[in-house]
Amino acid sequence: MSDIILKGDKNGFSVIIDVNANYVDAFKELKEMIMQQNVKSTNEDDDVINFTVKTGNRLLNTDQKAAIKELFSKYPQLYLKDIESDVESKIAVEKMFNKTKTNIESGIVRSGQKLDYEGDLIFLGTLHRDAQICTTGSVYILGEVNGIVQAGYPNNTGATIFGNLKDVDQIRIADVIEIVTDDNRDDFKNGSFAFIDDLHSISVDNLKNYKNRLNDLKKRTG
């Protein structure tokens, strides 16, 4: 039984590697198949043939992927479009999980300290002046904050800061910074939320209007 299956369509060929095959044997078979295809495409006027290598539930390591790419690079008439797998690497899964998880912090963040998170953050603690909390997602403040609150780091403009903002010194969302002073502090009340508006500035509104803000964001992002 063959360790690889070759399927063609109008977009080129798919090379499917049997998930149960010995990879060394499958790679040898792949080399032989590529050489045969190259013999059929030796005319420089022939169109380049596109190939996609599909590994199913087999996850190739970096060296294995590099070997396949190097193999195709030897034959200019045969172009490797992609190496596809139905499974994700552990690192990729961890990144996806971290992006969507919710953190809870209930401690005291003292002056000069900075705490970093991935995902959303529920802050139940105390943030002293000149201290900072920073996360890639949104921040829900149920504690007391006097320092710097950063949401959407580094470029998540859809992030939001909710809750008790009345004593905050500075808020940041993505690359936008708003310094809170006596002149604008009345805008930052308990029960508010801060977001990046259509002018790429930070605006503050009452939480009861958040649903309308969310609908507007969905319309803008499609």
Contacts of 77 (CB under 8 A, 6+ apart): 38, 41, 42, 44, 46, 48, 49
Give domain 93-207's CATH number out of 3.40.50.12780, 3.30.365.10, 3.90.420.10, 2.160.20.70: 2.160.20.70
Report how far residue 211's alpha carbon sits from residue 42's, in angstroms, rounded to the nearest whole number.
62
d(C-alpha 182, C-alpha 185), whole Å: 5
* Backbone dihedral angles phi then psi of residue 86, each to the nearest 5 degrees: -85, 0
List, as own/partner pairs, every contact residues 181-189 make where C-beta atoms lie below 8 angstroms and the sequence separation is at least 24, other chains included.
Answer: 189/165
List the chain domain ranges: 4-87, 93-207
Query: How far, CA to CA in Å, does 114 sit from each of 61, 70, 103, 110, 121?
Result: 36, 45, 15, 8, 14
- pLDDT for 221: 55
Q: What's the pLDDT at 88?
A: 60
Cα 137 from Cα 205, distance rounded (Å): 19
Kindly give the confidence (pLDDT) of every residue in the chain, 222 residues in length, as a single tens digit, with 9 standing for 90 and above: 578 888 887 778 899 988 888 988 889 998 888 888 777 765 555 678 899 999 887 888 889 999 999 999 998 888 899 988 876 655 555 665 566 688 999 999 999 999 999 999 999 999 999 999 999 999 999 999 999 999 999 999 999 999 888 899 999 999 999 999 888 888 887 788 999 998 999 999 988 888 777 777 666 655
Distance between CA atoms of residues 53 and 70, nearest Å: 13
Amino acid at site 53: V
Two tokens, residue 11: 């977009």
Q: Are 131 and 147 in contact (CB under 8 A)?
A: yes
pLDDT score, position 95 = 61
